A and B are shown apart, each in its own frame.
Chain A
Amino acid sequence: MAMKRSVDSKGIPATFLKISVLLCLVFAVILCGKFTDFMKGTGFVFVFLGGFFLTLISFSVKDAAFAFRQTMGISNSYEAHHKTAYFWEVAARNFWMTGVLGSVISFVIALGSSEGGIFGIASRMSASYISAVYGMALAVICAVPAFKTSGLLETQSREERENIFEEKTGPNIPFFKLDTVIGYVLFIITLGWAILSPLLGEAFEGPIKPQDLFLYWPSLLVVLGGTIAIALFVGNSAASRSITLGFALTGLLAIIMGLVQAMMGFSSKTIQDVASAITFILSSCVITLLGMMLVGNPLVDRAVKSDRIQTTQILNRIAWLLFPFMTLILLFLTFVMVVTPIQKG
């Protein structure tokens, strides 16, 4: 017990020291002025708040406080380490996905606005990637304690792990707890602010309505229909885990459909087809990301928390890591498609 206390007293100052060094580095980067193009206050606020509120959907404030304390080395039990590692993994995932969602939103709004000519549109589209950079940076920060705690899990005794496995049918966690509802409401408010504030501002006078690109009915039908079908085929045994994967796979299918249409549009030199394909791709990306963030991931988190073990997580991890990455690649391709003129021969 005495030994544990000494670990605690050393752990907290050491953690604060590390955070201070990190903050000093961040301030130094800001003050050097070399990265002024990467400073976008509203983008950072959206990613930070969005990621935090998404994490609130899966974990209560109490859980978050526990994970913070645990990261500083308060307890040494297998279950506490497991819970902490998963909390940080979820936080990293949420920041990463919110960052990419922020990029897609900024990209669509840039595409809808016509101010500043080609240069203005192109530079705003490029700047939309900054949200993804913020998301990735915050995800990396959260991944450090996740990896560290996961490393500690490996050192636990086999007996302790087996005990956890024996207790795998954990308490049946109710889906709509107060923290979950607050998390959903706050995230939706943040999302609404990110989408509506540029559209309602005086500066926005574009020829198209970005909201039509966010919610394009054919994309919604294809992505939702595909996800439901996959969840049905997988069946009850892994239903909660199949939603994220279902969204990712259907989103991927929709995106490939869109890409094929865009390439055919380029070969036949039909702007209508290319525009339609870009709308389909962007809308599919937004709907898939939102589906994964608001439905799939919370269900997986709930399943993991009630089972207390992280089984069948690999495919889900691949889905939430790779789909946003693919979205970024697609944004780049869309950017190229937008600035590449199509001329009838």
Chain B
Amino acid sequence: MSPKNKTGSPKTSDHKKREDANIDHLLKQTLKDDLPVDAEAVMKNQLEGFRLKLEEASGRTWAGQKTFQAILNLMDVRWARILVKKEVVLVISLMMIVLGSFIHSSGSPNQLTENLSVLGTSVVVSNEMIRSQSMECSIQMYGDNQEPLHYAIQWLSPNLSKVHVEDSRNAPLKTIWISEEDIVIDDHITDRRFEKKISTQLDDPILKPIVGYLEPEELVERMYGEWKLLKYQKQKECAQGIFAIALSDERATLEVTLDLCTHLPVSIKKILHGEEFGEERVIFNVRYTWNIPISPQSLAPTQILENPKG
């Protein structure tokens, strides 16, 4: 028994089947798979657009998909159409997040590390120098067309200093005591003693080159405000770091070698650059010793001239 349709007549059902067969035959005749390539492409695009509209209505597309689709069609890269599917774009975006996080966490070398390291070190060095209780340093000065001078500086916190100047034959030239209130200068060449108030400037030509190195605070000021860092080299094997600092007012650099355990300077070289005396020339060399016991009495001016000539 054949299944009944709505009207329930088997005759009508046969008629419908015949009609379907006729339509099927007609379609096969008219829609042969022999369309020109251009016409086929246009039809495919129209169908794709229709499909997109349906997907858009159902919320399965993403914003801008139409535009990307149009661009890909224009560029004739049909194989890339899969890339504009919502699911694919979502996977790509999630992969971007994962890849970004992975590259970041893989610890690629970062230029900022060196900069932070330098800044951090200079802050620590400044703090350590300000905290230091005493300092001894010897300065070897190589002046222009004159014999080298040697300075021995002793400093005790907060503001007691003694500077002893000798020539290249170790003959004493001057001894200077600097305290909170006054400056006492023994001139060993003339065997005379001068006393000045601290407010007066040290205009002695022998002392002028070392102004700025008499107390740690002066050096800290210089490190804090004046320099332009040229290089920072960390030498792990000997736990030392070297700052090369350009001075703003001169054609010179200061090369500060640090002890990275104590974070205090070990030595400073002032190097002058210029063509007239070759590539570079060391003007002075400073060697530091920090926090050694110094008694305040040893930094007080003696009653008589120290090391009188002859």
Contacts and interface: CB of A to CB of B under 8 A. Distances in A.
Interface of A: 111-112, 114-121, 205-209, 212-213, 217-222, 224-226, 228-229, 231-232, 235-237, 239-240, 257, 271-272, 274-276, 278-280, 338-343
Given A111-B112, A117-B122, A236-B61, 12 more contacts: A114-B118, A208-B112, A221-B97, A221-B100, A225-B95, A225-B97, A228-B92, A232-B86, A239-B62, A276-B107, A341-B120, A341-B121
B93 A232 contact: yes
B90 A229 contact: yes
B306 interface: no
A112 B123 contact: no
Interface string B96-140: 110111011001101111111111111110110000000000000
B51 to A, nearest CB: 15
B124 A341 contact: yes
A211 to B, nearest CB: 11
Contacts, number: 147
Contact of A207 (B103, B114, B226): B114
Given A119-B224, A229-B93, A236-B59, A275 B103 contact: no
A117 B93 contact: no
B118 A207 contact: yes
Nearest to B122: A118
B197 interface: no
Nearest to B104: A218
**5 tightest A-B contacts by CB?**
A225-B96, A221-B100, A239-B63, A218-B104, A341-B120
The secondary structure that dominates the B interface is helix
A275 B100 contact: no
Interface in B270-296: none
B89 A118 contact: no
A254 to B, nearest CB: 8
Contacts of A115: 228
Contacts of B89: 228, 232
Given A111-B112, A118-B224, A221-B96, A280 B123 contact: no
Contacts of A117: 122, 223-229
B183 to A, nearest CB: 29
A343 B97 contact: no
Contacts of A207: 111, 114-115, 118, 229, 232
A41 B112 CA distance: 28
A125 B97 CA distance: 30
A338 B100 contact: no
12 contacts: A117-B223, A119-B225, A221-B99, A224-B96, A225-B95, A232-B86, A232-B89, A271-B120, A272-B110, A341-B120, A341-B124, A343-B124
A235 B104 CA distance: 29
A219 B228 contact: no
Contacts of B121: 341
A341 B111 contact: no
Contacts of A220: 100
B19 interface: no
Contacts of B189: none
A208 B94 contact: no
Contacts of A342: 116, 120
Contacts of B229: 114, 117, 207
B56 interface: yes
Contacts of A212: 111
Nearest to A258: B104
Nearest to B87: A232
